[in-house]
Each structure stands twice: as C-alpha cells, then as structure tokens.
Structure 1
Amino acid sequence: MKRLRPRATRDHAAVRQIAGWCLQYPDEAVLGKLGLLRACLDEIAGPGRDELRRTVAYLEQGDPRELASHYIEVFDRKPRRTLHLSWFLDGDTRRRGETLAALRRFYRTHGFSPAENELPDFLPVILEFAAAADPGAAGQVLSRFHPALELLHRNLSTVDTPYRDAVTAVLATLPAVPAPIPADPPAELVGLDPFPTGAGGGR
C-alpha cells in the first residue's frame, strides 16, 4: 500500500504546484487553469494559501493583454527579477552552466524531465519538481535555491506586483533561516559550490 504524505507535506506540495502555475507567463493555458487552482486552494490550509489566493484573484480579474505586459515588465526587463534562479547565485559565469547541467542530472536521477524549451533553473520548473518529488529530493533543490528566492522576493518588493505574493507563498513552505544570501551575483568563478547531483550522479 502506498504511504500517504503527512498533511503539511501535501499542503506544501500543493502550494508549490499552484505557485509554479501562477509564475508562468499568463497565456491561455495558464489562465484556463485558474478555476482549478482556486478550487485546489480551497482544499489546503496553512502558510502560503492566502498569498496565492491574491495572486490567483489578480490573474482572474486582469485583462489578458495587461497581464502579459505586466509579466514581461516584472520578470523580463531586469535581471535582478529574473525567474531563472541560478543567475542570483552564479551570475553570468561558467559556473552557471555547471549548475544548470548538474541540475538537469539531478532531475533525471529522480525521474523528472522538464520541457526542452525551459531551463532547469526556471522557478516554475523547480516548483513542478518540488511538488512531485519525494520530500528529500524537493528539500535539496529548494535548499540550494533558497537564497536566490529570498533575493528575488526582496527585488520584487521594489515594484508593485501581485507576483510577490506567489514568491512569498513558496518561501512560507521553507525553513525560516536560509543559507547566506549574497549581496550580488558573482562576476567571477567563485562563490557557492555547484549544485549537488545526489546519489547516482548522471544517467
């Protein structure tokens, strides 16, 4: 018999899954799921639910063209608000390529294959994995990128955007104290260790 996850673990997984959808570009596929996401929020309790309710309500009530414009303005105009989290830890260095390659290997080790057109450090991809993976594997990925999430959250605080609530919801599922948060992405090949590949390494 398959063991059920504890309620808190299931709720955390649901928060991460819903936040991952909310943080994608608001195309027809995303907007078409909002009713389902709202219904899922009704089934969970605990940290992150209220913040995601606000994000879902914003997406439901917004004009699609204005939603798309706002998303691009928030996430695509400034690197400091990018959803590609390895940028916060590695900057534009060769180390970032190493991180992305190691993250892909880690995903494969745990039976997860992101879409070919998405980088593995894209926050909705990370959250999709974290929602589906076992708690240990999810914890490894989220712990690695916890400082990046804190930096993204801090930078979103400088603009008026409901997307900050979605990132707040994700942080609410994590331990209160993250690893040290860098002030700026590194410009040289120094800094944090590459992403751990976990048991089994590559294929």
Structure 2
Amino acid sequence: MSPLPSTLPALVRTRVRAAVRRPSQLTPEETAGRSLVLRLVSLLLQYPDAELTESRSDLSTVVRALPATPAAAHLTRFTDWFAAQDPEALERHYVEMFDLRRKSSLYLTYYLHGDTRRRGMALLTLNQRYKAGGWDTSRGELPDHLPVVLEFAALAGPGGGEAPLRQHRRGLELIQQALTDAASPYRHVLAALLTLLPPPTEADRAAVARLVAEGPPNEEVGLAPYGTYGDGEFAPPGTFAPPTAAPPTCVPPAPTNRREGPR
C-alpha cells in the first residue's frame, strides 16, 4: 500500500477550517446571538465588583436561555460557579488569575509584542480602529484589554469588529491554557470565546508552545501614552508622531550648593 500523500494533513486542516461558518454567512439571528455571547464573555471577564456580583442571578438566567451551543455550555458551567461564590472570594480569585499572573493577563498585545515599542504601536493602531468605527475610546482601560476588545467586537459585528480577536488568537489560547493549568473556572469563559473562532492551526499551536516556554519579547520601554515614535521607528499610516524636541536656545546657569534662607 502506498503511503498517504504528504499534503493530506494540510488538506484536512483546510477542509476543517472551511467547514466553520464564516461571519459573512451568518443569518441576522445568528449574528445577534453571537453578539450576545461576546457581550456576556466581556461582562464575565470584568472585575467582579459589587454591581457585577449583584447581577449574577440575571446573568445566569440570560446564559441558560441561550440556544444549545458549546459556547452556552461553557458559560453555564462558569455562571453556576460564579453564582455560588462569596463576593470577596471572587475578587481574590480574579486578582490572582488576571493581575498577578503574566500568562493569563487580559492585555492582548502583551502576548504578541511583549514589553517592546511595537506594543505601543499596536495599542495606537487598535485605538484608531475603534475611532474609525465611531466608538468612544475615552475610557479607563487600555484598548487591548480583552473585555474592551470583546465589547467592540459585539458592537461592530463579526467582520471587522472581530478582527482583533482573530489577530490575537494565540494570546487567547495561552490565556485559556494558563487558566486550565490553574484549574480556574474562568477557563470556561475563554473556552466559550474560542468556540466562536476558527480552529487553531499547527502554526498557532507551535507559537503558543513557544510563548509558554520563552514568554513574549522583552524590551524595557515605557508605554505612555501607548508608546512614542521617534528616531526612525515605524508608525502606522495616519498615526500622530510627535516632532523631535528642539535644542534649548540658551544654557541655564549651573546650580550652586548655596542655600538661601527665607526672606
């Protein structure tokens, strides 16, 4: 018997990916359902403050009313746990999972660019995408915070609105893996989100494995306000690049060690 052609695995992956419903093929009802799931995931990934914990019963009701899908099953598992926990315990668990662990941080550009100047560029580009969609970006979180990205995806629609989620698929996979390793119920929320995206490729899996082993790129730079562009560094088209500061026209006198008393 002759061996299978070497191209068969690639063909299988292509067929599997082609079988996933593309956003352009969704009916209006399916699009609305998808938007609702994205908004629920966005809410459930936010800090469990008093307002959110007081809404747990309503959230559980909405989740249980979703059509029977893998995403709905994952969200039901999470909300069952979420509703049964003490509010203070929820706060502690959230901080431990998302604030104290780098591999499950909710800031997506970190996984792609690490602490480098390219991350600042990515944040500016994402902010520009929001503004181009007519979305108000004057909020406290950075534009790559996953709940913010999810809210934009829900409002802007499956095409361009979900593009940042597809771009950061590998980071989402890493967060899901880290939460699973920590046995956190939040793994179900990430799992629900991932059911909406195309299956990962072999390249995606290899990249996630490298992230687990090596971590994101590292470069000690500041990000405020999402980084700066200078000394020839690339900036996206249309991005404001502040001009280089002019040299001083005079040199101020050197300070003396003499201290003057009050007059």
TM range (shorter): 0.7 to 0.9
Q: Secondary structure at the match of 1:116?
A: coil
- C-alpha distance after superposition, 1:105-145 (max 9, x if no partner): 00111122245210111111111111111221123121111
- Cα deviation, residue 47, structure 1: 2.6
- Cα deviation, residue 71, structure 1: 0.7
CA distance in 2, matches of 1:159, 1:170: 18
- C-alpha distance after superposition, 1:50-79 (max 9, x if no partner): 111121122211101111011111111111
Q: Does 1:125 align with 2:148?
A: yes
Q: Give 1:62-141 correspondences, 5 Å limit.
A: 62-114=85-137, 116-141=139-164
Taking structure 1 as the reference length, what is the TM-score of the superposition?
0.85
- C-alpha distance after superposition, 1:72-120 (max 9, x if no partner): 1111111111011111111011111111111000011112224521011
- Aligned residue pair count: 191
2:61 pairs with 16, 39, 43, which one?
39
Deviates more, 1:129-138 or 1:103-112: 129-138
Taking structure 2 as the reference length, what is the TM-score of the superposition?
0.67
Deviates more, 1:96-105 or 1:133-142: 133-142
Verify the 8 A CA contact 2:42 2:148 in the aligned structure 1: yes
CA distance in 2, matches of 1:108, 1:36: 32
- Cα deviation, residue 201, structure 1: 6.0
- Cα deviation, residue 37, structure 1: 2.0
1:146 pairs with 164, 169, 173, which one?
169
Indicate the RMSD between aligned Cα atoms, in angstroms. 2.3
Verify the 8 A CA contact 1:55 1:162 in the aligned structure 2: yes
5+ unaligned residues in a row in structure 2: which ranges? 1-25, 220-235, 241-263
In the alignment, which residue of structure 1 is the partner of 2:250?
Answer: none
CA distance in 2, matches of 1:62, 1:115: 33
Q: Among the aligned pairs, what percent are the same residue?
A: 35
CA distance in 1, matches of 2:135, 2:66: 25
CA distance in 2, matches of 1:93, 1:43: 43
